[in-house]
Structure 1
């Protein structure tokens, strides 16, 4: 996160969590505490909110998709998967790490004698406010008072795994329907309980928790009411929960939640009562003080780089210059290790020096070690060669996926409009450098002898890879998730945990903290894919004014969806495009065709904030503006015309246009541009206002943003995430570009991979749009995709110059 908004509350509230988040093996669940899915309300449908043309169009299923479905379906049939028990998303009362003086109400919430309500938050806090948002869901249904709420991190257990992230990862777009799609969604839900992961990403955390965590709060409230009724001998019908107390309906206090710690142990869990209607919400929809802010303000929060353990050693790393390379060996220039350096270790992808200080180890690698490198598969690769490769694929490549809707027909008199767009590789550059601390206790291998401390987006994956690296069972590994100094998808990767555990194995009984320099981070990232796209539109020019008929797009990119499972857990790549890059636009074209071509290559690509939306939004929304110009229409008017019949989109679009003053005069050299994108269940539109001086100096002066994310849990957090996403996307739009020469990345630090500074940040105004939809959307990523095309379209409005390549350069 390049720039943090400063609009968050800093007052007291739920106690901050300054310590690390431990993820340990779960505990056996008691049968009587099992709550099957049939007791849970169905997750609201999200298809219509996520874009596309629901119910329309066809998809060419490749042989690969059929093979995937057959293998997955057949494999699970072989182990009785189809008859697997429905997934428990409530958990039993002893699951949530009970301490003396505490009583568990279910796997998500416990109470203590000091009247605290402690909520389990299994998602990683990286500045997005997820601890606060998820705790609010439980507190709302419990009728707890916010200043009595604390958050803790639960053990590793299937109850807490993220199902929504698996459903979002399926190779189908929101508009696809049919038996195959329905079965795949059902299987993904089942898979979440069997093989799912505790993961934070894809803007799924609140969406995934919306029903189970509210249900947990409602079940907890029911238990407390029944316990109070029995303790006070008052009929339960005469009692209500209010602000952390059980009261008579006339308002008289009966007992606090904390006074019921010893009164609920033998009460059985009943099917949950109905969840509250939105009109009954008291906490949801407000912006209480965030749980993570006090520790961050006082300096007591623990990030990965803050981990300090007895006898800790530090490791600096040099990774192989070319992608896929490795260290074959090394030679010490002085023949021996100097004072302060303990060991040199070959690690996956490179070499590490372990010392008493990171500075000494890093200096030693720079000056006193000669490494024999093994080249990767493309040691001479450069950006010019890659672009030529992509251009050839754009012309002749076989699509991995073809998607169409409408009926294509060419008019007698046709004018064809074409435009080709480029987007480069991008690095993540989280503020906190990449790091991981590992400790292998030599005499405890086989008895939870491996511990890992790191800022990560999936403790499940870190635990799996740590176990594989150490050669132990996952039950022997404990992962402590610290606060994250930015994530953006980078901290879902496992390269640091492999290197840290390898170092710790070489020096057992000593914790080792691996820390990458900024140069290592930028040059050995897993990048947002570079992409190339060509739009084509046919205009009927047989009448007095041109009319739009059909449109088509071909695009080329590598696929994080393909690479990530192969890189992390060794699953074979399937050659399918990344799902967010191939969603249909929401516009009602007469006909539409997409050919998505998956590029191979040695450059590692991964999940980056908004992933495929970050480049396809630039391609799509830039071309919509080009179409408006060719049709002599206002860009707003054309979008409204193509979105007729989609009231949610129109309300967002009209809101941003009104608030931005669309159509009002601007000074010479200034312009406004707009863009709209549906992603991760939310609809976002942005208008950028720019000023161009002397045809070469660009200033983004103002960005107006409107978002419809369905029910709003915390308005301040939504606004903060939109502002953060805008700054992150603007940094990429203006400066972001990773280039290759001689098989290696040319950039190495912020002087050559710049970001928007505070002095250059635009004025931002975020408007929350209430369309009445019950479908809850994500907020962590949807603010990023529209900003690049909005700025590009504003530059065209100001100068008449169309920029089709990122980053946006006037000359």
Structure 2
């Protein structure tokens, strides 16, 4: 078991696999390129497949199919491929893959996309096979030169060895000898016992340039002659531009051009300050459209009414209706608000458009869609659209959208120079694609201290219906029901249904954790309520229903032990537990929180135990869980987007708060060693933190919180003891 502890961390969507089946079965990427790509006597590079290039100097270039947005995937994916290739890791360099669904599609989604905490899950086997196939070719090349059986050769750190004769050859020396060889379709893979890189906490490949400032994010792109633009869209979603008085803006130094489109206005300048000053000087009259009267009250009224309707059945086991009619019926409803992404790097895109080409610099989680939207707008063929995919300063699902690219390309159509379009923070928060509002209604009956009847109704927007239509089947959004339809507890009679309700005015999209956010919060909060109703300890209550989930039982036991569950705490302090099986991983989290008499909350400590299968880089897994927990705590304590007169009311970090460094609790992450295939880890901490915190607050105060963010007025003046 790996252990990692941070005293202060300041400084399923797995069911998308079913979506693959829904759109024609699981897709496994083909790695063999045309024979012209193979090395020959005239070439200086060995390129056996879409992911590997080895030159005669021994440099191994990995063409990276996934994008780096802080989750450490550049290093983790490189480790997977280099492990099977048996490459010397210090000779590995990375090159971001160009847009190409045929070569670099994520096997789960069947498009080139990074998300769903599935980079490792999706590419675990394909990349291992790519590395193993390349290694087999290099062994065969050396065996032919030495006239020996390939089975008598071995590889290590970028070299092939024939121990019986004492000969060896570097991969670099073998490049020109691989011409004409055919890679095996199903090469043998290493056993886990022979892993040399996987399981090691290697230093991240992207860290040095982030420290020394050399790294290039999307916002850093500076093609020659670039101009700068910033924009304003109608403050009401769906509104249009009415009239623009630009006389004052045009007089400002550095302002070059005012671009007026039907749905936005942009100011182009010599630098960002000129563009922003010009934008503020504009007098814009908006045609606000049909959403101008929408408020948060309207959204919640509609959502609550929808949640009273029967939904589409997502899962049914036994006789839930019958079981719920016997004994005392326990009911609760849980609500989660709209949330913005508020990525540290605001939305941006740089475009150079000419009569016959379009060049784009951007950080995107959906590179092929970025290329496609530019082609649609310009009418240019895909091969004339060049997309440079740069590092992302925060994605969280926001950059699974291409609206910022759409706007930048349309602005570039009016500008006779490369133009960098940067959204202000205010524009970013007020024109996001928001995490949906959700309402979860749960009902249960108990017998003998166990749940015998269970009904869970999930009501909310369907992101899948818009983002991946083939996966939206029979009225079921597979993301919205994730971690609910596959609830791990042994419940003999259960029903899970889904009601689709699209909120007025507000666009909705993926947000770190998405479906499991609301479901894990609702289920684990309700589990605590049921445990208290049954007169049982919350850990013991859950453990009694995990006989069919040994991996979850193991993390529960470990987290409880490490957190000192059951040990006494001072008054106004409490511990809360939350379990989940999300994104192919198993996690148990204990939060320890203190609530003062004014209702202010201090999260003192969080302990998480994680079984994410084979751990490629333990340090990265720990960091991702820590980051996710902080992200989730932020949402639970502060996160909410509200609407008034069709307008988002929040605008920047003063009214859309982040957890601050002095508020960050001590965080411990304990990893269970496992031989199972890797799970996803980037979002599990986010979904774990809110229910664990809510349950800790109940333990400290006796106040049950069923809505986020936490309403401190419910806690103020609460007498405890």
Q: TM-score, normalised by structure 2?
A: 0.91
Query: 1:633 is matched with which residue?
Result: 536
The answer to whether residue 42 in structure 2 is matched with residue 113 in structure 1 is: no
The 3-state SS of whatever aligns with 2:205 is: coil
> Which of 691, 694, 712 does residue 789 from structure 1 map onto?
691
Q: Distance in 2 between matches of 1:85 and 1:786?
A: 31
Q: Distance in 2 between matches of 1:411 and 1:556?
A: 20
For structure 2, the 5+ residue unaligned runs are 1-5, 714-721
SS of the equivalent of 2:291 reads coil
CA distance change for structure 1 residues 110 and 348 in 2, over 3 Å: closer, same or farther? Answer: farther
Any conservation in 2 of the 1:90–1:159 contact (CA below 8 Å)? no
Residues 1:363 and 1:86: Cα distance change in structure 2 (over 3 Å):
closer
CA shift, 1:565, in A, is: 5.0
750, 756, 768: which is aligned to 2:659?
A: 756
2:286 matches 1:373: yes
Task: Give 1:498's aligned residue.
Answer: 406
Distance 1:218 1:267 in 2: 14
Structure 1 residue aligned with 2:378, among 465, 470, 486? 470
- Equivalent residue, structure 2, for 1:79: none
Measured in 2, the distance between the counterparts of 1:637 and 1:104 equals: 55
Q: SS at the partner of 2:139?
A: helix
Do the aligned residues in 1 keep the contact of 2:462 with 2:480 (CA within 8 Å)? Answer: no
SS at structure 2 position matched to 1:429: coil
What SS does the aligned partner of 1:438 have? strand
In 2 relative to 1, CA 425–89 (structure 1 residues): closer, same or farther, beyond 3 Å? same
Paired residue secondary structure (2:200) = coil
Partner of 2:415: 507
Among candidates 514, 517, 542, match of residue 611 of structure 1: 514
Structure 2 Cα separation of the partners of residues 371 and 156 of structure 1: 38
Go from structure 1 to structure 2 and tell me whether the alpha carbon gap of 1:374 and 1:251 turns closer, same or farther (over 3 Å shift): farther
Q: 2:353 aligns with which of 422, 425, 440?
A: 440
**Superposition map of 1:151-166 within 5 A:** 151-166=94-109
Partners of 2:644 and 2:183 in 1: CA distance: 63
Q: Which runs of 5+ in 1 are unaligned?
A: 9-45, 55-64, 74-81, 167-191
| 2:433 alignment counterpart | 526
Deviation at 1:576, TM superposition (A): 4.1
Q: Distance in 2 between matches of 1:637 and 1:694?
A: 30
> What is the aligned-residue RMSD (CA, Å)?
3.0
Distance 1:671 1:257, change over 3 A: same
Other structure's SS at 1:552 match:
strand
CA contact (8 A) 2:8 2:666 kept: no
Deviates more, 1:546-555 or 1:786-795: 546-555
Query: Which region of structure 1 is more displaced relative to structure 2, 111-120 or 759-768?
Result: 111-120
Shift of 1:535: 1.4
Which stretch shows the higher mean deviation, 412-421 or 729-738? 412-421
CA distance in 2, matches of 1:212, 1:310: 39
Deviations 1:421-471 (A, max 9, x none): 1110000011111100000023xx1xxx10110011011000000111112
Provide TM-score, normalisation by structure 1: 0.81
The structural deviation recorded for 1:288 is 1.6
Deviation at 1:253, TM superposition (A): 5.1
Structure 1 residues 5-30: Cα deviation after superposition (integer angstroms, max 9, x where no partner): 9999xxxxxxxxxxxxxxxxxxxxxx
Alignment correspondent of 1:11: none
2:31 is matched with which residue? 89
Cα offset for 1:340?
A: 1.8
Instruction: Return closer, same or farther for 1:348/1:336 CA change in 2, 3 Å cut-off.
Output: closer
Aligned to 1:178: none
- 1:480 corresponds, among 384, 388, 393, to 388
TM-superposed CA distance for 1:232, in Å, is 4.0
Provide the rounded CA distance (Å) in 1 between the counterparts of 2:137 and 2:520: 48
CA contact (8 A) 2:579 2:587 kept: yes
Seen in structure 2, the aligned counterparts of structure 1 residues 603 and 412 have a Cα distance that, compared at 3 Å, is closer
Going from structure 1 to structure 2, the CA distance change for 1:498 and 1:337 (only over 3 Å counts) comes to farther
Structure 2 Cα separation of the partners of residues 675 and 312 of structure 1: 50
Say yes or no: does 1:649 pair with 2:557: no
Cα drift, residue 164 of structure 1: 3.9
Q: CA deviation at 1:579?
A: 2.2
Q: Name 1:407's counterpart in structure 2.
A: 319
Contact conserved, 1:97 with 1:154, CA < 8 A, in 2?
no
1:718 aligns with 2:660: no
Q: Tell me, yes or no, if structure 1 residue 705 matches structure 2 residue 608.
A: yes
Separation of aligned partners in 1, 2:124 and 2:432: 33
Q: Distance in 2 between matches of 1:653 and 1:619?
A: 18
Looking at structure 2, the residues matched to 383 and 96 of structure 1 have their Cα atoms a distance apart, in angstroms, of 59
